[in-house]
Structure 1
Amino acid sequence: MKKGAIVFTISLVIAILFILWGVIAPHNLSVITSSIQGFLQTKFGWFYLISASTFLIFAIYLIFSRFGNIKLGKDNEEPEYSLISWFAMLFSAGMGIGLVFYGVAEPLSHYMDPPYGEPGTEDAANTAMRYSIFHWGLHPWGVYAIIALALAYFKFRKGAPGTISATFQPILGDRTNGWIGKLIDIIAVFATIFGVATSLGLGAAQINGGLHYLNSGIPNTKGVQLIIILAVTVLFMLSAISGLGRGIKWLSNFNILLAVLLMLFLLFAGNSNFLLNYFTTTIGNYIQKLPSMSLNISPFNKHHNEWTNSWTLFYWAWWIAWAPFVGTFIARVSRGRTVREFIIGVLLVPTIFCALWFAVFGGSGIYLEREMHVNLSQTINSQGIEVSLFAVLAHFPWGTFTSILAILLICTFFITSADSATFVLAMQTTNGSLNPPNIIKVVWGVIQAAAAAVLLWSGGLTALQTASIIAAFPFAIILLFMLYSLYKAFKEDRPKSKKVMNKQSA
């Protein structure tokens, strides 16, 4: 049996068993996974923080290192996609649903419950925005950059299969084709399923919350959310089987356009001067305090420690769980770029956009709460965190229309995230095929949707967070070894390039 077939079969069996567990005994699933999550957060919180910071530091090092000129492909290859399409695809795949879900909710949550200090104060407002950007800024994109760089380098420059295990060739050799290589790929598939399931669950919850906010006749219940998952599943599978260029590319471009238009509307319809000042101030604070925030788990401050477990550790685990999916997809669309160009693009462009997004959406929420004395927190507490975006839009012109646009944006982000993940899962379970069979995509599309549905049904948003944290732990270890393997490959690549150049000049 071929390696890809073995990985597909074992991964599928594990996923089906998990889904059946959730269907037959949802309470038991919730209790056991919550216990595992608590153990990992309590005993290994430091590991998540150090790992995420290590990935970011290494990515920044590559920008200034002698490896920056290495091309992700042959030396004479040009980039496959234009810069605009490239940015749109990596952004849509990397952040989509979560960014819309937490754009208002997270800064407001931190403002009313900061990691330290008094809630509802000026300091709390500054801290809220700084931590929101921290959670969505350089660290997650540092994680994505490393795995995407490794996959693109080994696939397009070395001609290796586009699998996670293939990036371990420098340290494992032919053993990447054996059981250890299969285990690496299976763990990557497991992490991808539950990392993406988290996003799909958030998307379904927010679509339901928005519809309920606009029309109270539509109940905000798990049953409605399951119907939404079913409906959107059909759409994203149609997109997935249409092919990368026709489906994901055009939807990604539409996503970024709609997101930018919604953000610009809120920026100019609101207090633009306040929002831009807030953005500028927060960027300065973020850069200044980035090192201390990156490694602060507060062993002497119980509230800050618990807050870090609830927010920062969840995010770091979520990004790591997403890394196989996002990394594989970004690698697929990054052929022909240099290491330096790739790292700068992947780190800076999405980080700046995310920071501006939070300043506009989260800043608007805090401005309404703090300066206009609108009690948004009460609305969110009574109706759920998923309605926070719609509660803010309701206080601006054309609130109903912009809320409908926001729901459309969530739906299209849902589709692009899910069909990208469907493509990646199919690719990873067919030994790195760049054109996996449609039937494999359909199978993984159903599995993803079923996993999201089971997690929502068994424990709601908390279960989604739990799944990400558990799935991320083994894959974080794999990523650390991948980093070493990539560095070793780069060291072997550069001297060869110099020898070739010396021969050519002679």
Structure 2
Amino acid sequence: MNKVTIVFWVALGILLLFIGYGVIAPDSFSEVTGDMTSWISDSLGWYYLLAVTGFVLVCLFLAFSPYGKIKLGKPDDKPDYSYLTWFAMLFSAGMGIGLVFWGAAEPISHYAISPATQEAGSDAAVTESLRYAFFHWGIHAWAIYAIVAMSLAYFKFRHNAPGLISGALTPVLGKYAKGPTGNVIDILAVTATVVGVAGTLGFGASQINGGLDFLFGIGNNITIQVIIIAVVTVLFMLSAYTGLNKGIKILSNVNMVLAGLLLLFMFVFGPTIFNLNLLTNTIGTYIQQLPSMSFRISPLSEDERSWINGWTIFYWAWWIAWAPFVGSFIARVSKGRTIREFVLGVLLVPATLSFIWFSVFGGSAIYLETNGIAMISELATEEALFGVLEQYPLGTIMSFLAIALISTFFITSADSGTFILGMQTTNGSLTPPKMVKLVWGLILSLTAAILLYTGGLQALENAMIIAALPFSVIMIMMAVSLVKSLRTEKHLVTKKKKNA
């Protein structure tokens, strides 16, 4: 433990207090976090919309400006991975449990409870439901990841900065980036990472429980969910302790194979033509209405505003809380890419694959309901996927495959999360001590369990919205820092050309 910094101890203390509060006074914990979330959503929803749309604009500006030719690394550095491998890593990093959890559940929810002015259950609500799923999982989400990843990769590989969030803020903070101010920033990044990863693990445990209950009727409650978390914790902590990097790489490949099989199954046995038509049509309406969706806050409609708070603001907060983790991973595998190819690759490829996923699973759920075959919208959120699979051949087998997929995503996400947290709390070390990773693994699981215990899925959403607020400010600073540094570098490049 001699490698740990003050960031480790302070962040650990804050999170232990957080966990202790949830254990000792769960009702009070739930009430306080609920009140904080309501205030943030009602008072600062506009801020989240402006900030995230701003991240999209910054990414596009950097991609299509002269800065796009600058490499995330030294001028002679070459990418470590082929395009195909890099794209697979990007999709794997951003897919995870969330896409499996919400693939069928989100579109059918939007269809049953229309997000705008269209009548719920109408033909117009069908295309609208997919459009908002595309919006929540499209370029806005990936722009959040891109800002963090691009900043970390640029300063790490081009300017030899430590792989810390504070290390990307030197142009803005100067010498303070390495002092107490930098420590505070890294502490906020660590707490946001823990809440983001723990929230996702909570969704995973809830859906595994939902699948087992749907198949075997074992019940869907916090006791079973805690048991699931405990079992998976042993597995991923064993992996973290033994350092089975090869095993995790194999498991990551298994994730992609299982996800591919599940997608292929639903594409073949589901309403294929309906889903393809829906995908094509929704891409058009998504592009057409992206500006209006990006700034929609509905100040004159309380019902619409409540929907925006519960979905769009929640998603933007989730991605921001998840950004230190996913951003660090994407940064590590993007060395040698130009800013232009990085932005276009990160924003477009994973988003397109997500659109296909939602069209296949969400489209199938909507098709079942519109044709009176099954009322998927009446199922619990965590059971929607299994309700869809049940209606098709080999449905039970596919449900087991889905549970296996969620479990492997759970293990790999948690294991990778312990590494990123270990790195962030040991001054960017690429070989954090095993004990540090074990501590963070335990904290991740305890946090997920406490959030489920104090309020289920709603508590997970509340925690991510709260944790994301301070880190969103740091992200704005990262964007400013990156642009400021690039402006200086472009000036030097132009000067060299003139002298030549």
Same fold per superposition (TM over 0.5): yes
Identity %: 55
Change (3 A) 1:144 1:70: same
Q: Deviations over 1:357-386 (max 9, x none)?
A: 0000000000000024422223x0xxx210
Partner in structure 2 of residue 119 of structure 1: 120
Pair 1:76-2:93 in alignment: no
Q: Secondary structure at the match of 1:79?
A: coil
CA distance in 2: counterparts of 1:249 and 1:146, whole angstroms: 26
Q: Deviations over 1:177-233 (max 9, x none)?
A: 1111011000001111111111000000000110111111x2211101001111111
Cα offset, 1:94, TM superposition = 2.0
Mapping of 1:29-428 within 5 angstroms? 29-115=29-115, 116-216=117-217, 218-241=218-241, 243=243, 246-378=246-378, 380=379, 384-428=380-424
Q: Secondary structure at the match of 1:166?
A: helix
CA distance in 1: counterparts of 2:31 and 2:3, whole angstroms: 35
Cα offset, 1:248, TM superposition = 4.1
Q: Deviations over 1:66-118 (max 9, x none)?
A: 11111111111222233333233332222311100010010000000011221
Amino acid at match of 2:327: G
Q: Given the two structures, how large is their TM-score scaled by the length of structure 2?
A: 0.97
Q: Secondary structure at the match of 1:72?
A: coil
CA distance in 2: counterparts of 1:500 and 1:457, whole angstroms: 61
CA distance in 1: counterparts of 2:373 and 2:393, whole angstroms: 18
Change (3 A) 1:176 1:16: same
> Structure 1: which 5+ residue stretches go unaligned?
none
Change (3 A) 1:93 1:416: farther
Change (3 A) 1:500 1:240: farther
Q: 1:431 aligned to 423, 427, 432, which one?
A: 427
Cα offset, 1:24, TM superposition = 1.1
Q: Deviations over 1:279-306 (max 9, x none)?
A: 0000000000000000001011221111
Change (3 A) 1:401 1:249: same
CA distance in 1: counterparts of 2:254 and 2:495, whole angstroms: 46
Cα offset, 1:494, TM superposition = 2.0
What is the aligned-residue RMSD (CA, Å)?
1.6
Number of equivalent positions: 499
C-alpha contact 1:88 1:252 (8 A) present in aligned 2: no
C-alpha contact 2:162 2:428 (8 A) present in aligned 1: yes
C-alpha contact 1:85 1:253 (8 A) present in aligned 2: no
CA distance in 1: counterparts of 2:63 and 2:248, whole angstroms: 29
Pair 1:443-2:439 in alignment: yes
Q: Secondary structure at the match of 2:88?
A: helix
Q: Deviations over 1:134-174 (max 9, x none)?
A: 00111010000001000011111100000000111111111
Change (3 A) 1:475 1:2: farther
Pair 1:475-2:476 in alignment: no
Cα offset, 1:245, TM superposition = 5.0
> Which stretch shows the higher mean deviation, 414-423 or 357-366?
414-423
CA distance in 2: counterparts of 1:452 and 1:497, whole angstroms: 48
C-alpha contact 1:85 1:249 (8 A) present in aligned 2: no
Q: Secondary structure at the match of 2:169?
A: helix
Cα offset, 1:17, TM superposition = 1.0
Partner in structure 2 of residue 494 of structure 1: 490
C-alpha contact 1:240 1:248 (8 A) present in aligned 2: no
Cα offset, 1:497, TM superposition = 3.1
Q: Secondary structure at the match of 1:118?
A: coil
